[in-house]
Amino acid sequence: MTEFGGRPTLAPVATASLSPAESVLAFLRRWATPLASGLTAFVALFAVLCTSGPESSRLALAEGPGITLDESFNVETGVYLVRSLEAFGLASLHPDSVREIWGAPEYNPDHPPLGRLALGLAHEWNQSETELHDAAARPASAFAFALTVLVVSLYAGRWFGPVSAAVAGLSLILMPRQFGHAHLASLETFIGLTYTLCILWIADRWFGPTLEESRLETAPRWRAGLAAGLLFGLALLTKIQAVFLAPAVVLWALWRFRARALPVLTVFGAVGFLVLFAGWPWLWLSPIEHLREYFARTTERQTLYCFYWGERWADRDVPWHYPWILFGVTVPIGLHLLGALGVGGWSQAPGTRQTLEPCGLKDPRLQLVLLGMAVPLIVFSIPGIRVYDGERLFGVVYPLWAVVIARGAGIGWHVIRRRLHRQGTAIVAAVFLGTQAWGLWQYHPCELSFYNLAVGGLRCADKLGFERTYWADSLTDSFQREIVKRIPPGAVIDVAPVLHPFYLDHLLQQSPILQEAGITLRPYDDKQPGGSPFVLLFHRKADPWESLLPPPEGTETLVEFKRDGVALASLYRLPEGS
């Protein structure tokens, strides 16, 4: 059997003496965790691909989100690298080739290459034309999300049993903002995968034989740092948030093993940065200068803005509690309750009345998981650290929270089992998890606008002063079709806000619907005469136009995209002379 709160243990089974039915049951018991993990990962992949739109997936049954700003940069760089490496072949390792590929003006080094290469590969596999189509790269994020679901399910099942394995993966799927990011050709899902895998691998492999005597355990040998360092390096090759792994792992290891952890930590750090350097040839061209440029870029970029508690904040001035509050209101509240039970709950091993497993805070494995969550949240709470775009910067905490939720679900399962039969317990669990799925149904394809019932959903969150929308994900195909129905062919639409001058040309290039109607897009500017009467407004409060909030008297709303009764995008016809 698999005892909750410990490693899976299986008694030997004399399969030769078992009936066929008993043999099947024995097989299912033995492989319950891998089967549950694989099934939830398949559900995650299938669910994302089916809701990504026809330009992303041939399996699509529903439309996906509109093309967002960052996707263009990620896909363009990823496709450039894939095509360059295909053209050069093995010669791409030659110093002249490295300089030509990675030092070219076409290469954008603002992020490491691993996630972008995955996007580029997906684009080339999914798109036969030479033109870039951002949506064609989105399946890479879907596969990364499915792998993340698989990872959290496998480790939760290994630690807490098959029930927890299933709930870990399902809880991650039921987090609307994680599910939403899995539809975008961005790097958030990739860093979530590599960050989570590194934390869980170390928590499992560096974990000693007992929970109660964790400080007396033998420290892992230096060789244990090799694989951990490789995973650390892969995370560093994905996105800058990987640097949070270092303080989390170092603090945890030193707390548990004191100075005995120094050899394995040294190997862990050295291998991680060696993998980063080896896997990013751009660093080879000028190691010191490019490392300084990369790590300084996050502090030297232009000011971005964030809307929070009814005020517009520059990214350096956002209140310290922003990441904690936003994390609290962007996960379904029932999952948060299971997570709280997973942190503090004491579990009774199945089939006993006396054996109690320690609460989550005393489990060294969950200590590292919680540290992996706490470090990013604490860093983004420090005054002067740039914070913007909602939960995106600290999105790595959500997959780890799914593991804690899984422990709480396991505790709840065994508590209910003592009062109900197996079928009744399964019904209660299904109903409970089903109620947590309302956000996916109500907000798709704009799950990045989700808020939980703690703040009354998006409708009440908007009144409380939270940001309504991510960048242009509300410009869906159906919304675009409504636009071209309501305006004459060849019309000019002024768009507000526009955060990057490159965006509108790229957006039009990505939209066959607007192209076929001969639509022209240009930035809205109320200070310039001769503007178009048609204005497309994304209701992003961090970048407002005062002249459109509210629009001038006499303005006609032609098309509006809403979720939970809140407008995320609107097409206006302004009155003459406005």
Structure tokens at 336: 């948060």
Contact 305, 315 (CB under 8 A): yes
362-371: b (≥16 Cβ within 10 Å) or e: ebbbbbbbbb
Can you give the pLDDT at residue 538?
94
Give me the helices (H) in 11-68, please: 20-30, 32-50
Can you give the pLDDT at residue 19?
72
Contact 442, 283 (CB under 8 A): no
Alpha-carbon distance of 91 to 89, in angstroms, equals 5
| Dihedral sign from CA coordinates of 484, 538, 561, 575 | negative
Contact 400, 197 (CB under 8 A): no
- The DSSP code sequence of 341-407 is HHHH--EEPTT-SS-EEPPGGG-HHHHHHHHHHHHHHHHTTSTT----TTTGGGTTHHHHHHHHHHH
Residues forming a β-bridge with 522: 494
Among residues 277, 284, 276, 278, the alpha carbon closest in space to that of 98 is found at 284
Among residues 112, 119, 115, the alpha carbon closest in space to that of 295 is found at 112
Can you give the pLDDT at residue 527?
87
Can you give the pLDDT at residue 424?
83
The number of angstroms, rounded, from the C-alpha of 107 to the middle of its chain's C-alpha atoms is 25
Tell me which amino acid residue 76 is.
E
* CATH for 477-573 (3.30.70, 1.10.1740, 1.10.3470, 3.40.190): 3.40.190
Residues in the chain with pLDDT values less than 70: 1-18, 21-28, 208-217, 298-300, 347-358, 577-578
Alpha-carbon distance of 101 to 394, in angstroms, equals 31
Domain extent listing, the chain:
15-63+140-436, 477-573
Three-class SS state of 477: helix
Among residues 408, 401, 387, 444, the alpha carbon closest in space to that of 176 is found at 444
Residue with tokens 């559900």: 43
pLDDT tens for 390-425 read 899 999 999 999 999 999 999 999 888 888 877 788
Structure tokens at 9: 């243990």
Alpha-carbon distance of 24 to 37, in angstroms, equals 19
Structure tokens at 234: 């892969």
Among residues 455, 305, 445, 504, the alpha carbon closest in space to that of 389 is found at 305
Beta strands in 278-363 (DSSP E): 305-308, 311-314, 347-348, 356-357
Structure tokens at 128: 């036969």
Give me the helices (H) in 127-223, please: 138-160, 162-173, 176-181, 188-205
Can you give the pLDDT at residue 28?
66
Tell me which amino acid residue 104 is.
A
Residues forming a β-bridge with 570: 537, 560
Q: How far is CA 249 from CA 8, 131, 204, in A?
A: 25, 43, 13
Using alpha carbons only, give the angle 516, 507, 124 rounded to the nearest 5 degrees: 95
Residue with tokens 């949506």: 135
Q: How far is CA 159 from CA 27, 153, 378, in A?
A: 19, 10, 27
Can you give the pLDDT at residue 357?
64
Structure tokens at 430: 């299904």
Alpha-carbon distance of 516 to 251, in angstroms, equals 57
Alpha-carbon distance of 201 to 224, in angstroms, equals 10
The DSSP bridge pattern shows strands 305-308 and 311-314 to be antiparallel
Alpha-carbon distance of 506 to 517, in angstroms, equals 16
Using alpha carbons only, give the angle 462, 468, 473 rounded to the nearest 5 degrees: 155
Can you give the pLDDT at residue 255?
92
Among residues 449, 446, 477, the alpha carbon closest in space to that of 63 is found at 477
Can you give the pLDDT at residue 27?
66
Three-class SS state of 330: coil
Alpha-carbon torsion angle 219, 225, 231, 236, nearest 10? 110
